[in-house]
Amino acid sequence: MDRNVGPEDRVVRIVVGLALGAIVYLGYLEGTAAIVAGVVGAYLVITGLVVRDPLYKMVGLDTSVHEQPYSTTDDRAGF
């Protein structure tokens, strides 16, 4: 599976996932809400660390940076 999570997306996923984990750990949520927040937080951290998201793959999204073909100054100037 190719990478499909970009650098900005990766940072946001990890930060939000850790924040959700901290909220659950500190006990701000209880019951079903805590379970859902914990699962979502774990999913975000894991997909942020492995740089792959199966949901993005199913939907066809790709936020990763792809290498652009090299161009010289002459090509950009139209010569």
26 CB burial (10 A radius; 0-12, 13-18, 19+): exposed
Give the single-character DSSP code of 70: P
Domain count of the fold of the chain: 1
pLDDT tens profile 5-51: 999 999 999 999 999 999 999 999 999 999 999 999 999 999 999 99
Q: Which helix (H) or strand (E) holds 19?
A: helix 7-26
Give the single-character DSSP code of 69: P
Contact 3, 50 (CB under 8 A): no
Give the range of the structural domain holding residue 43, as residue numbers without chain letter.
7-60
User: Does residue 71 belong to any structural domain of this protein?
Assistant: no
CA 77 to mean position of chain CA atoms: 36
This prediction has a pTM of: 0.79
User: Does residue 54 belong to any structural domain of this protein?
Assistant: yes
User: Does residue 2 belong to any structural domain of this protein?
Assistant: no
The pLDDT value recorded for residue 78 is 56
